[in-house]
Amino acid sequence: MFKQTITTILVAGMIGCASSPSTETEVTEGVSLVEVVEQQDDKLVIPYKKYVLDNGLTVILHEDNSDPLVHVDVTYHVGSGREDIGKSGFAHFFEHMMFQGSENVADEQHFKIISEAGGTLNGTTNSDRTNYFETAPSNQLEKMLWLESDRMGFLLDAVTQKKFEVQRETVKNERGQRVDNRPYGRLGERVAQALYPEGHPYSWPVIGYMEDLNRANVNDVKKFFLRWYGPNNATLTIGGDIDEEQTLEWVKKYFGSIPRGPEVKDPKPATVELDEDRYISLEDNVSLPLLYMAYPTVSRLHADEAPLDVLASIIGQGKTSILYKNLVKNGVAVQSSVSHGCKELACEFVLYALPNPMSGKGLADLEATIRDSFAEFEKRGVKADDIERVKASIKSQLIYGLQSVSGKVSQLAANQTFEGDPNLIQKELERYENVTEADVMRVYEKYVKDQHAVIMSVVPKGMKAMVAHEDTWTPSERHIPEYEEVTEADLDIRVAKDDFDRSVMPEAGDNPTIKVPEIWRSELSNGIDVLGAINEETPTTAISLRIKTGSANDPLNKIGLASITASMLNEATENYSNEELSNILQKLGSSVSISAGEQYTQLTIQSLTENLDRTLQIANEKLRAPKFDPADFKRIKEQTIEGIKSAAKQPSVVASNVYQKLLFGTDNAFAHPTSGSIETVSNITLEDVKNFYNTYYTPAISSIVAVSDLEKDVLSTKLKRFSSWEGGEVEQAEIKPFPELQKAIYFVDKPGAAQSEIRIGKRALPYDATGEYYRVNLMNYNLGGAFNSRININLREDKGYTYGARSGFRGSEDYGYFIASAGVRTDATDKSIIEFLNEMKAYHNSGMTEAELEFMRNSLGQRDARDYETPRQKLGFLGQIMAYNLDEDYVDEQSDILQSIELEELNALAQKHLTLDDMIIVVVGDKASVMPGLEKLGYDIIEVDAEGNKL
């Protein structure tokens, strides 16, 4: 048995003991109270009240008054797993359609209304559920409920053939961007096709097959909606700064009249078994081959799920794992991992690895090593340390997930949807608490040892010989039932009847008081400035130690040096091995990582406060006593080079890299990718790393920002651990003159690319919190800064050219730029550029309207309520103040500017900064397909390679 148990965590506002009425209690006509979970005893739960409306809608209310926010989530128990054969993608398609307006909400207004209210919103679909959610200031709650209820009960009359066709194109663009144009993007759907029998709900991709959507008509999707989107198949979860009585009254008003849908039964898990190993393969636009092995196991919350999670950790998660030792540490693979992903009906025990070309090993060798590692695990067995490590990780993840109201609401909603019980957090802890060494060995022998798997090889195009094994399984042709057209007469329309005028949008309540974090300052004895804030909502601490050095200080022939130096500090130290450090941190439930960007290197620390002292000891060890082991350096250098090769296969990365280099010139290191190029990384030696560390890692250019439930004096005392760190000032790299921009289209050929990546822009202003830089971003908001901006509405919603288009100004301390960007359909590349230019030209000439000015003021003026909720957000706020030496009340000055700035000033800024003649255009796409259209645009076309060099 394991030796150590999970410590019980006492979290104010989250401790509770469920006490349920013995029978449902009607609290008002049409609404029954089902369950109450209150703050009591020592159980880790989220307090809530659970109600059911007469129409079957489950309502969960969670009160959290720590921030003036409300999060609303509507989860429907329908995902791709409930689609019919030949009609895949409908659930995901409705995720799009539900944002297109309803009977009382005009087209494109859902995003506009929530954005104008200072909120944010989205929707997601997976195999088992679809959810829609908004976070907004608490005075907007009634409006949010009105919106959600209107699309639940009053959607179908607004679903037109035109909207259907536009969103069908948008889904195709999303597939192009996320699947077809992404390396390894089709891996998941190919594995699912082989792992699950034909017709199994998980055998097709969530996004669907495009031929199925092409075959469908608007009535097909209406029928799908009527089957699954009734209130009796939904959970409405509301959390945050709410008045429960008033909230329940609004819920009854807006949702109570919506008729029930057809009855829905929970799906039943079906055991998936393979009679032999199924080897499959895919040639893809990748730089490295990949081996992927998937074993079918159990289903979500099955008794064996927890021990299988522990098994996955032991075999392949982190630097303590067997696969890390056998594949990554010795340089055989650049990456490997194991996971046990669970869905409602089935789980998969997955292993993957990418070989290191320097090792001379291929996919067949990786498979052999993985199988040998299984045998090693059998001999090694399960240790108490293994189980303690996983349990601590689970515990910390659950607590970190409670730092935002959205995290808590999402947890409640998911638990209710799949288990009918929102109160599962403590049970989750107990599931892992009760796992034994024998349990882990038992599930290994039952689900992995001598069991069959789907084994997939993804190899570069034209390199079929690199597969681990020749294919032994091929998919049969899809058996699609004969299509039967759905007509209006086939639709069983449900009509809600209200006693109020639903077409009138509710007014917002009084604006809530925004709680900007109260800041404290101190200084360590070695001169490090400390900026802190208290966050008492969870017993956690987040710290960022920032060193003012990054890739901007790299020598031009050794770009990537700052990044590799930071990576080396994540490896062994003088006193601990990689494995020991990883083991300690996992058992603490902490993370300590070092990373380098353009201007800063950051040491980021996240810890449960009860374990902060030990976590800070490890952080200090990593920062001040790196071992700089030659073996670690060799491995990191090889991994970096392979990462660069992989990035060069991603059109979006190539487009951004080329754009940056064209703007700021090859003579400035910050204009290059922080990872460097194959050539520059090849030049880097271990001695270079040591010299960079000794030169730039110094307290003289460092600062600390921290957010914790600890008081200033207590945390300041703990941070004194860094006081003995010594070092003097260093010179920063000189910024070289920027190149003269030649108005042209710079084109990178990506043969066969499923989409084209577009970047349009120019150099612009450096960052200024309250100056012209702040003002130009106000100006840009309606052009390309919001979802319902002119650019996105045009290219995505009106034309269906893209999954998303945007524009904005970006700035650092010394330089900045303007950029408009999108990934677009290949056949719409030239048309998309025309629309981008037309929108910017019109904005330059005429500026924004009075209505747009009002929208921008409302939207940006209220969204501050969302800016300081979580420790991570507070840390970002403090970091901004520290990095740019801002006054603590700079946000008040920004608010004054926002409310007082006039239309004339904003439009003058548009005329000044949106000058098309100063802008360059970068396009990455398939030359054969797009070049004829580009040549008609009247621009010079300059072909460049993936690093921006002229061909």
Asked if the structure places residue 477 within a domain, the reply is no
φ, ψ for residue 653, nearest 5 deg? -70, -45
**Cα–Cα distance for residue pair 758/650, rounded to 1 Å:** 13
**Residue 79: predicted pLDDT:** 95
**Cα–Cα distance for residue pair 354/381, rounded to 1 Å:** 26
**Cα–Cα distance for residue pair 600/718, rounded to 1 Å:** 24
Asked if the structure places residue 426 within a domain, the reply is yes
Based on the fold, state whether residues 432 and 364 are members of the same structural domain: yes
Selection from 140, 471, 146, 58 nearest residue 278 by Cα = 471
Count of beta carbons in the 10 Å neighbourhood of residue 555: 14
Asked if the structure places residue 48 within a domain, the reply is no
Based on the fold, state whether residues 568 and 645 are members of the same structural domain: yes
Ordered alpha helix ranges (H), 755-818? 772-780, 790-792
What SS3 class is residue 924?
strand
Q: Are 257 and 153 in contact (CB under 8 A)?
A: yes
Count of beta carbons in the 10 Å neighbourhood of residue 13: 18
Based on the fold, state whether residues 535 and 617 are members of the same structural domain: yes
Radius of gyration of the chain, Cα coordinates, nearest whole angstrom: 28
Question: Do the bridges between strand 290-296 and strand 120-125 make them parallel or antiparallel, or are there none, so unpaired?
Answer: unpaired
Which DSSP string corresponds to 77-123? Answer: S--GGGSPTT-TTHHHHHHHHTTS-BTTB-TTHHHHHHHHTT-EEEE
Could you tell me what percent of the chain has a pLDDT over 70?
A: 97
Query: Length of the chain in residues, anyone?
Result: 951
**DSSP H or E stretch at residue 840:** helix 829-846
pLDDT at 865 over 80: no
**Residue 101: predicted pLDDT:** 86
Q: Are 203 and 235 in contact (CB under 8 A)?
A: no
Beta-bridge partner residues of 606: 542, 591
Per-residue pLDDT tens for 219-274? Answer: 988 899 999 999 999 999 999 999 999 999 999 999 999 999 999 999 999 889 99
Which DSSP string corresponds to 116-171? Answer: HTT-EEEEEE-SS-EEEEEEEEGGGHHHHHHHHHHHHHS-GGG--HHHHHHHHHHH
Asked if the structure places residue 38 within a domain, the reply is no
Of 211-225, 442-456, 903-917, 925-939, which range is least confident? 211-225
Q: Are 343 and 410 in contact (CB under 8 A)?
A: no
**Residue 255: predicted pLDDT:** 97
**Cα–Cα distance for residue pair 829/802, rounded to 1 Å:** 10
User: Could you tell me the residue range of the domain that residue 808 belongs to?
Assistant: 745-943
Give the pLDDT band of residue 10 (cuts 50, 70, 90). Answer: very low
Name the domain boundary from 220, 236, 262: 262
Selection from 104, 215, 157 nearest residue 488 by Cα = 157
Q: How far is CA 752 from the centre of its chain?
A: 27
**Residue 104: what residue type?**
N
pLDDT at 215 over 50: yes
Q: How far is CA 99 from the centre of its chain?
A: 20
Based on the fold, state whether residues 458 and 526 are members of the same structural domain: no
Cα angle for residues 613, 615, 617 (degrees, 5° grid) = 70
Helices 890-900 and 850-862: angle between axes, nearest 10 degrees:
160
**Residue 13: predicted pLDDT:** 33
**DSSP H or E stretch at residue 573:** none
Beta-bridge partner residues of 601: 547, 596
Based on the fold, state whether residues 305 and 255 are members of the same structural domain: no
Q: Are 195 and 294 in contact (CB under 8 A)?
A: yes
**Cα–Cα distance for residue pair 452/467, rounded to 1 Å:** 18
> Number of C-alpha atoms within 13 angstroms, CB side, residue 932?
4
pTM metric for this prediction: 0.89
**Residue 351: predicted pLDDT:** 98
**CA pseudo-torsion sign 684, 686, 691, 693:** positive
Based on the fold, state whether residues 798 and 901 are members of the same structural domain: yes
> Number of C-alpha atoms within 13 angstroms, CB side, residue 228?
26
Name the domain boundary from 433, 449, 466: 466
Of 14-28, 514-528, 769-783, 859-873, which range is least confident? 14-28
Per-residue pLDDT tens for 375-401? Answer: 999 999 998 888 888 888 888 888 888
φ, ψ for residue 169, nearest 5 deg? -70, -40
Based on the fold, state whether residues 631 and 769 are members of the same structural domain: no
**Residue 920: what residue type?**
I
Give the pLDDT band of residue 884 (cuts 50, 70, 90). Answer: very high
Residue 90's Cβ-count burial label (10 Å; 0-12, 13-18, 19+) is buried
Selection from 686, 680, 731 nearest residue 565 by Cα = 686
φ, ψ for residue 745, nearest 5 deg? -100, 120
Contacts of 848 (CB under 8 A, 6+ apart): 779, 782, 783, 856, 903, 906, 907, 910
**Cα–Cα distance for residue pair 638/97, rounded to 1 Å:** 46
**Residue 1: predicted pLDDT:** 28
Asked if the structure places residue 658 within a domain, the reply is no
Q: Are 592 and 603 in contact (CB under 8 A)?
A: yes
Based on the fold, state whether residues 257 and 295 are members of the same structural domain: no
For the segment 688-702, the average pLDDT, to the nearest whole number, is 97
Asked if the structure places residue 268 within a domain, the reply is no
The separation between the first and the last C-alpha atoms of the chain, rounded to the nearest angstrom, is 65
Task: Answer with the residue of higher pLDDT: 939 or 482.
Answer: 939
**Residue 481: predicted pLDDT:** 86
Asked if the structure places residue 388 within a domain, the reply is yes
- Looking at residue 829, which CATH number applies to its domain? 3.30.830.10
**Residue 11: predicted pLDDT:** 35
Cα angle for residues 435, 77, 256 (degrees, 5° grid) = 125
**Cα–Cα distance for residue pair 701/699, rounded to 1 Å:** 5
**Residue 307: what residue type?**
P
**Residue 888: predicted pLDDT:** 85
**Residue 913: what residue type?**
H
Count of beta carbons in the 10 Å neighbourhood of residue 624: 16
Which DSSP string corresponds to 527-560? Answer: S-EEEEEE--SSSEEEEEEEES-SGGGS-GGGTT
Structural domains in the chain (count): 4
Per-residue pLDDT tens for 118-170? Answer: 888 999 999 999 999 999 999 999 999 999 999 999 988 888 888 888 888 88
> Number of C-alpha atoms within 13 angstroms, CB side, residue 419?
17
φ, ψ for residue 93, nearest 5 deg? -60, -40
Question: Do the bridges between strand 702-708 and strand 529-534 make them parallel or antiparallel, or are there none, so unpaired?
Answer: parallel
**The two structure tokens encoding residue 8:** 């019980």
Contacts of 706 (CB under 8 A, 6+ apart): 530, 531, 532, 533, 541, 542, 543, 544, 715, 719, 875, 878
What SS3 class is residue 674?
coil
Selection from 274, 190, 83 nearest residue 475 by Cα = 190
Beta-bridge partner residues of 764: 816
φ, ψ for residue 575, nearest 5 deg? -115, -10
**Cα–Cα distance for residue pair 251/33, rounded to 1 Å:** 13
For the segment 93-106, the average pLDDT, to the nearest whole number, is 86
- For residue 699, what is the DSSP state? G
Based on the fold, state whether residues 596 and 459 are members of the same structural domain: no
- Which residue's structure tokens are 């002229």? 950
φ, ψ for residue 373, nearest 5 deg? -65, -35
**Residue 929: predicted pLDDT:** 96
- Residue 453 vs residues 107, 367, 839: alpha-carbon distances, Å: 47, 12, 52
pLDDT at 105 over 70: yes
Give the pLDDT band of residue 17 (cuts 50, 70, 90). Answer: very low
What SS3 class is residue 715?
helix
pLDDT at 19 over 80: no
Per-residue pLDDT tens for 324-371? Answer: 999 999 999 999 999 999 999 999 999 999 999 999 999 999 999 999
**Residue 43: predicted pLDDT:** 73
**Residue 40: predicted pLDDT:** 64
Asked if the structure places residue 503 within a domain, the reply is no
Contacts of 47 (CB under 8 A, 6+ apart): 13, 14, 16, 37, 38, 39, 62, 63
Based on the fold, state whether residues 761 and 823 are members of the same structural domain: yes
Based on the fold, state whether residues 812 and 849 are members of the same structural domain: yes
**The two structure tokens encoding residue 303:** 């008794």
**Cα–Cα distance for residue pair 655/660, rounded to 1 Å:** 9
Based on the fold, state whether residues 707 and 752 are members of the same structural domain: no
- Which residue's structure tokens are 């990593």? 622
Q: Are 843 and 785 in contact (CB under 8 A)?
A: no
**Cα–Cα distance for residue pair 28/52, rounded to 1 Å:** 11
Residue 263's Cβ-count burial label (10 Å; 0-12, 13-18, 19+) is exposed
Question: Do the bridges between strand 745-749 and strand 941-943 make them parallel or antiparallel, or are there none, so unpaired?
Answer: parallel
Selection from 593, 622, 581, 588 nearest residue 608 by Cα = 588
